Amino acid sequence: MHSSFPRPSGEAASGVDARSARLLSRRRRLHMLRRRAAAAWVLACACALHGSVAIAAATSDAAAASLPLSALPRGATCQRLDLPQRLLAGRRGLFNPAAVRHPRIGWVLLLRFDSCYPQGCGGPWVIRPYAALLGRGLAPRPAAARRTLIELAYTDGTKRRVRDELGNPAVLAGDMRPFVWRGGVYLSHWLLRNNTPEVEGNALQAVSRLDVGGRAVRLVHLFTRVGARNISLTWQKNWGFLPGDDGGLRMLFTTLPASIVLRLPADARAYAAPQFECGTEVLPAHFGAVEAATGLDLASTRNSGNPEPYPAGRGGGLLMLVHTRQPGNRYFHWGVRLAAADLRVTHISAGPLLKWNDYAGRGFLPGVVSVGSFHVLPDGAAGPPGGGEVLRVFFGEGDKFSCWEDTALDRIAWFALPAGAVAPIANPFA
């Protein structure tokens, strides 16, 4: 991701109705007052997402304050995908990997290739999608990426639509996250309105379909409205996508502090506007307790991928990752568990699962750790039987490299939100 994500101000962003903006502003002011009154929290106190490191339990203020520092040695390196050096040389990068398992094709990995990094490269900024097949087993095989890597091309119809709708001479799309829908592989991603490296304020959420055999990507949805209302282009550009039970598409517009769910019906035409389905929020009165137990700044979170099923034997529902960005491009990612029906937040990990200073800091923006996808793998799929379920995360490092990491699911401690901490909200787009 080349953009920066500063905390949204309380002022109404362009395209958001005034009532929604006032509601967000009031919540953020309350949140800041509570933060100033709370004890200081050290974000580095949680363990890293790594197979050999446990995340200590924290269910109270005292327990949260005693979380151990990461056990990773200084300068540790991620498990980097083996990719062709010609795609990484100089100002080039092949990064932000994200995977999905299709029942027929198997594991499909998407990556973003930048031919010339925008900051100081002196040439045109070109973004191209790449894909790789990682096998058909229960776990993706990262070692297969180099052998199966292919470059994808946008269809002529997609190029015309982008030019007509956004004014771009080329398709500038990033943060491609695949999901299975209508029997195929679809991608959620952003598109830029104009030919500029500044994503913030210019990015629109979109959905495309992947044709692996034809090595092509075709745009099918471009979202500028929710219902009859325009949406803010800076509020949230990383939506979470998952198929609906009725054949439609559900979209997690935001996760925290409010879980806002949008939907497209099964018969929605191309480029149709999604509708508001439901919404819940963590009540401001509970911000202090939740933040003390997790270390997560609730008001400044962004989505980190598409929701994935969480094991029924561990409570079921869905797993989501969210991130915050601190000054200096310092990224932290937390786990969030959601109820399957209304996607309300039920649990938050007791500390960040993945953070910028876990690794040596390589790439163009060393603090940027950008999660593409995450997957709960069954016992024995990613290691010897008896080792338990594993959480595998694919992520980009420094807007240049592609990485992955595993951690045992048993090592993640969860903070359960208290009864009454979450309540329904009205349609913010009404």
Average pLDDT on 82-104 reads 93
Asked if the model's pLDDT at residue 391 lies above 90, the reply is: yes
Give the model's pLDDT for residue 36.
38
Asked if the model's pLDDT at residue 355 lies above 60, the reply is: yes
pLDDT in tens, 50-89: 332 333 333 333 333 333 323 334 446 689 999 999 999 8
3-class SS of residue 135:
coil
pLDDT in tens, 411-426: 999 999 999 999 999 9
Q: Which two tokens stand for residue 88?
A: 């990484």
Q: What sections of 325-375 are H helices per DSSP?
A: none
Task: For residue 111, list its beta bridge partners.
Answer: 130
Asked if the model's pLDDT at residue 8 lies above 90, the reply is: no
Asked if the model's pLDDT at residue 379 lies above 70, the reply is: yes
Give the model's pLDDT for residue 115.
83
Asked if the model's pLDDT at residue 292 lies above 50, the reply is: yes
Which tops the pLDDT comparison, 29 or 299? 299
Which tops the pLDDT comparison, 118 or 413? 413
Residue 369: band (very low, low, confident or very high) from pLDDT cuts 50, 70, 90:
very high
Which tops the pLDDT comparison, 24 or 364? 364
Give the model's pLDDT for residue 53.
31
Count CB-CB contacts under 10 A for residue 196: 13
Q: What is the mean pLDDT of the chain?
A: 81
Q: Residue 129: CA atoms inside 13 Å, Cβ hemisphere, count?
A: 34
Vertex 309: Cα angle to 340 and 272 (nearest 5) = 65
Give the model's pLDDT for residue 25.
47
Average pLDDT on 6-10 reads 29
Residues 6+ apart with CB under 8 A from 186: 178, 179, 180, 207, 208, 209, 210, 220, 241
Give the model's pLDDT for residue 208.
96
Asked if the model's pLDDT at residue 322 lies above 80, the reply is: yes
How far is the C-alpha of 296 from the C-alpha of 293, rounded, in Å? 8
Asked if the model's pLDDT at residue 402 lies above 70, the reply is: yes
State pTM to two decimals.
Answer: 0.83
Which tops the pLDDT comparison, 375 or 162? 375
DSSP letter, residue 294: H
Distances (CA, A) of 13 to 205, 302, 353, 397: 16, 16, 31, 30
How far is the C-alpha of 25 from the C-alpha of 365, rounded, in Å? 31
How far is the C-alpha of 397 from the C-alpha of 394, rounded, in Å? 10
pLDDT in tens, 262-283: 999 998 888 888 999 999 999 9
Residues 6+ apart with CB under 8 A from 31: 257, 284, 287, 298, 299
Q: What residue spans define the domains of the chain?
A: 18-424
Report the CATH superfamily, name and number, of domain 18-424. Glycosyl hydrolase domain; family 43 (2.115.10.20)
Give the model's pLDDT for residue 360.
74
Give the model's pLDDT for residue 123.
64
Asked if the model's pLDDT at residue 284 lies above 90, the reply is: yes
